[in-house]
């Protein structure tokens, strides 16, 4: 849970200030109506908290819902944490339709509005830099899976000597050679898939203002048995958004890889690096 560095949320407190995102203090922002945005369960109405040239999008929430103990329990409940994550994202997305925003991590809390304003003032330069970076840009996610190709078949067990009457002294060597060959083919397919991933990433980076390569997902985590070789996200100018889908389709045809495109998203991945 992200909290102010000088304190922790205590269950003795009645309420705390939850911050969803930060945007510029403009005329359009001051006229922004967020009353219809639901926010987090159990909290008061979502509202704007101006602080000089910046404005935070906040909600007053019960402190008892965000103690370390309660939040750790919530993190172990997949459905519950997804409910909070979706509510958080809904607020960020609603504000982002009116201009650039810096989304803050899930469960960013301050003891009160004054503490939140103080943090905005302390980090004003970082927020302004991030807002300038993501203005008129969106985030696109790309996942690449290894091109479909037949896997090496299972290597048959070497026959026992008694099964051949002891007349096949080369059977064991042939078995080992087949096994080595299957392993070499697997390695070759893997190297080819990684080359495809690098090629796709290089082309998309040429289109993007910034990019990040993320950890790939294993079958044990996702249940997907496909071999995942690239998990990346790209910050693309709105004026070039129409090029993303065309490029991904062309790369899929050229490489034979399965490529999944998602977005456009609020640029979560590109606001914490400045």
Q: 161 lies in a domain? A: yes
pLDDT at 79: 92
Q: 172 lies in a domain? A: yes
pLDDT at 171: 64
The share of the chain scoring above pLDDT 70, in percent, equals 76
pLDDT exceeds 80 at position 170: no
Degrees to nearest 5, angle at CA 17 with 12 and 22: 160
pLDDT at 172: 67
Decide which of 10 and 106 is more confident: 106
Q: 236 lies in a domain? A: yes
Which range marks the domain in which residue 194 is found?
Answer: 138-270
* pLDDT (average), residues 74-88: 93
Decide which of 167 and 107 is more confident: 107
176-197, pLDDT tens digit by residue? 666 666 666 666 667 777 888 9
My answer on whether 36 and 129 are in the same domain is yes
My answer on whether 158 and 256 are in the same domain is yes
My answer on whether 151 and 265 are in the same domain is yes
* pLDDT (average), residues 103-123: 94
The bridge status of strand 15-24 relative to strand 54-62 is antiparallel
My answer on whether 109 and 174 are in the same domain is no
pLDDT exceeds 50 at position 274: no
pLDDT at 194: 80
pLDDT at 6: 39
Q: 250 lies in a domain? A: yes
My answer on whether 124 and 152 are in the same domain is no
Mean pLDDT, the chain, rounded, equals 84
Residue ending a domain, choose from 120, 135, 150: 135
Q: 8 lies in a domain? A: no
What is the pLDDT confidence band of residue 1, given thresholds at 50, 70 and 90?
very low
My answer on whether 110 and 220 are in the same domain is no
Q: 7 lies in a domain? A: no
My answer on whether 104 and 157 are in the same domain is no
Q: 160 lies in a domain? A: yes
pLDDT at 33: 84
Q: How far apart are CA 41 and CA 39, in angstroms?
A: 7
My answer on whether 78 and 106 are in the same domain is yes
Q: 3 lies in a domain? A: no
Give the count of alpha carbons within 13 A of 87, CB side only: 21
| Whole-angstrom Cα Rg for the chain | 26
Mapped onto helix, strand or coil, the DSSP state of residue 230 is strand
pLDDT exceeds 50 at position 2: no
How many structural domains is the chain composed of?
A: 2
pLDDT exceeds 90 at position 206: yes
My answer on whether 71 and 151 are in the same domain is no
Count of C-beta atoms within a 10 Å radius of residue 57: 27
My answer on whether 187 and 162 are in the same domain is yes
CATH number of the domain to which 215 belongs: 3.30.70
pLDDT exceeds 90 at position 227: no
Least confident span in 8-12, 96-100, 115-119, 239-243: 8-12
Decide which of 27 and 120 is more confident: 120
pLDDT exceeds 90 at position 34: no
* pLDDT (average), residues 158-171: 55
Residue ending a domain, choose from 135, 170, 203: 135
Least confident span in 56-70, 75-89, 136-150: 136-150
């Amino acid at each position: 849970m992200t909290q102010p560095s000088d304190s922790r949320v205590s269950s003795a407190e009645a309420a705390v200030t939850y911050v969803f995102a930060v945007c510029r203090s403009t005329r359009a922002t001051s006229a922004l109506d967020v009353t219809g945005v639901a926010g987090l369960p159990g909290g008061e109405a979502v509202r704007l908290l101006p602080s000089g040239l910046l404005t935070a999008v906040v909600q007053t929430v019960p402190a008892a819902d965000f103690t370390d103990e309660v939040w750790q329990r919530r993190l172990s409940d997949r459905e519950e944490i997804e409910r909070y994550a979706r509510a958080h994202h809904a607020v960020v997305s609603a504000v982002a339709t009116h201009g650039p925003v810096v989304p803050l991590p899930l469960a960013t809390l301050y003891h009160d509005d004054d503490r939140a304003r103080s943090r905005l003032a302390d980090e004003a330069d970082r927020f302004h830099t991030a807002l300038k970076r993501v203005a008129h840009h969106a985030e696109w996610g790309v996942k690449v899976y290894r091109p479909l190709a037949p896997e090496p078949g299972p290597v048959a067990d070497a026959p026992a000597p008694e099964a051949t009457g002891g007349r096949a002294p080369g059977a064991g060597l042939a078995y080992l050679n087949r096994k080595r060959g299957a392993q070499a083919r697997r390695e070759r397919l893997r190297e080819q898939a990684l080359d495809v991933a690098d090629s796709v990433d290089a082309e998309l980076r040429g289109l993007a203002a910034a990019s990040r390569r993320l950890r790939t997902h294993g079958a044990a985590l996702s249940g997907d048995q496909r071999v995942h070789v690239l998990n990346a996200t790209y910050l693309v100018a709105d004026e070039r958004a129409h090029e993303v889908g065309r490029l991904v389709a062309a790369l899929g045809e050229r490489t034979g890889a399965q490529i999944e495109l998602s977005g456009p998203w609020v640029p979560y991945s590109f606001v914490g690096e400045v």
